[in-house]
Chain A
Amino acid sequence: MTSPLERKTKITGPMVVTANRLTDGAVIFRTADGRWTTQLGLAGVVNTAVAAHELLAAAVADDVRAVGAYLAPVELTPEGAVQPGNLRERIRVSGPTIELPAVPVSPGGARVSL
């Protein structure tokens, strides 16, 4: 089971540091000024190995707020907006790609999504 943290990091493009919030496991991103945000758009983007490892080291040390920090690829749109860089990160940002189980309202009746 190689987690992204264990795979060799190749800085081939822009990256962010992401983790899960300790209290509830929510997906969070490290900002340039050393905080955490749930908004990918506010994440600190790094482009060099040095900057990446520095950002990651600080994140890993922040054990009391975040768990399992690692470097994740991102893509930048022409306007400069930050988008997830692979399917796994897309899923982490947007949630499961499937509808969560629905609640039947009545026999044969319309199903209501939660």
Chain B
Amino acid sequence: MYLYDEFDRILVAERVAEFRDQVRRRLSGELTEDEFKSLRLMNGVYLQLHAYMLRIAIPYGTLSSDQMRTLAHVARRYDRNYGHFTTRQNLQFNWIRLADLPDAMSDLARAGLHGMQTSGNCVRNITTDQWAGVAPDETEDPRVWAELLRQHSTLHPEFSFLPRKFKIAVTAASHDRAAVKIHDIGLRLYTNELGESGFEVSVGGGLGRTPFLGKIINPFLQKRDLLSYVEAILRVYNQYGRRDNIYKARIKILVHDLGAAAFAKEVEDEWRAIRDGTLALDPAAIAAVVARFRRPHYQQLADDPPELVAALESERRFKSWYLNAVARHKWAGYAIVTLSLKPEGGPPGDATAEQMDAIADLADRYSHSEIRVGHEQNLVLPHVRQTDLPRLWRALDEIGVATPNIGLISDIIACPGLDYCSLANARAIPVAQELSRRFRDLSHAGGLGRLHINISGCINACGHHHVGHIGILGVEKNGEEFYQVTIGGRADEQAELGTLLGPAVPATKITDFVEDIVDAYLELRERPDELFIDTVKRVGVEPFKERVYAVH
């Protein structure tokens, strides 16, 4: 993981001091809310239904155990003993007081954590694959590029007042776990036929009221040109993005209105003027950032060591978990372990302070002190020796993060919804909890295979429902909560927006409705191992519609 140097640390400390002064001036009335709101948003401070919310950036989803402990400390000291991991690899605290924020931020800053630019019309947390650096299908570690972009976009004087928020994601694997196609800029690092490594750049992806998948505007960008090219995109957006209507202000609208080719040309014209300037990345600049990524010293180990094999044979529950939550690692003898934050009936993505501390300890013992946060709201221990898996599993089981439902129907992604969020029209968490209980039978869930349910409590789509295999959108009709369902969405390298199944159903019916969709899938699938998403692709939405709405 990236180690802050003194410059990184000083910047965060200076930002905390600035915010402390801004809070003081707000509390005294010297700043109106209109003047203060943008400032607090740029530090990740929202106002929700019941309280302020602090959104803390976890850059490209990588946390040290010390940082996790600091999050636990803040949860205990300033909040209600828990935090919520989000679909953008951030953490949210829901009960924080404005007056306490400077102190909380100061505590966070000591561990190199902050809420800078997790909200506001600026470049947000740059996200990537939660398996970055350890995934077998990766060409190289995308986090280096995410870090270069993070620094470049932090307190950027020209781009801190964009028309709207700006989200960038990077992937370097054949399986896109970072959902780059639904980001304002999506960067796919790959190696071309000449053996050169560079970026495929897509622009204008995003969900919300008008969902779009990103369009490729540069099929191969040299690494040297990454910062200048992104600068050019941002400059075009800053100048020409709409400012008259917040629903038309994202770059996806600009790209759609101009057309990808015309937009690409605007970018190229601007880029030509700056590509050989100070933003050109020379090998030394890249090496300086690479050098600050601390990598574990892996031991020379063999795959499938005896302890593991024995445990798989003797302990059935361990085996179920192993088959579900443990993935192959780049290095022989190691494994990538996913921790489920989706216990049966629990709010998706939440962790208590106690769990955070326990996970930090386990990371120290078993994962070279490193933890990852995924945009599916689960955690990852990325450097686990296969020999340690049985011991680790027992410990994870004890703290309630070993439910073997990773990627299954009960591994639900949900936004906080109307229980917390002032933008919401309907609740999302109770729907997730109900569904999680309905599909509690793990062997049944296993039999359904990979099946992503995404739930959003409003059209802003923080639950990414457009790209769920089953997407659920909460709406309000005459004061009642209703849920609109789409199927066939995907967030990966074959990204697709889901198709509406039919009229929205009331809250009392949504769980049965989803079960009917699952029953339809079981009836329609060609073979047991044909995934839900592939069945939808093969037969289309009509057969599902017929079956589900026949009952409803």
Contact = CB atoms under 8 A, between A and B. Distances in A.
The reply, when asked whether chain A contacts chain B directly with Cβ atoms under 8 A, is yes
Interface of A: 1, 3, 20, 22-27, 63-64, 67-68, 86-88, 91-92, 95-98, 100-104, 107, 114
Contact of A24 (B98, B352, B433): B98
A23 B460 CA distance: 27
Interface of B: 26-29, 32-33, 47-52, 80-82, 96-99, 246, 346-347, 350-352, 354-355, 397-400, 418-420, 422-423, 427, 429-430, 433, 458, 460, 479, 481
Nearest to B246: A1
B50 A96 contact: yes
Q: Which 10 A-B pairs have the closest CB atoms?
A: A25-B51, A96-B419, A24-B97, A64-B29, A107-B398, A25-B52, A101-B82, A101-B350, A1-B423, A23-B99
A24 B354 CA distance: 25
Contacts of B32: 63
A101 B433 CA distance: 12
B50 A25 contact: yes
Contact of A104 (B26, B33, B48, B399): B399
A26 B418 CA distance: 16
Contacts of A68: 33, 47, 422
Contacts of A114: 80-82
A20 B47 contact: yes
Given A91-B419, A103-B81, A104-B399, A97 B49 contact: no
Contact of B27 (A22, A25, A87, A100): A22
Contacts of A91: 49, 418-419
A3 B397 CA distance: 42
Given A63-B33, A64-B29, A114-B80, A24 B47 contact: no
Contacts of B460: 1
A98 B26 contact: no
B30 to A, nearest CB: 9
Contacts of A20: 47, 51
A25 B98 contact: yes
A102 B32 CA distance: 38
B352 A101 contact: yes
A88 B352 contact: no
A67 B29 CA distance: 12
Given A22-B27, A91-B49, A92-B49, A86 B82 contact: no
B355 to A, nearest CB: 8
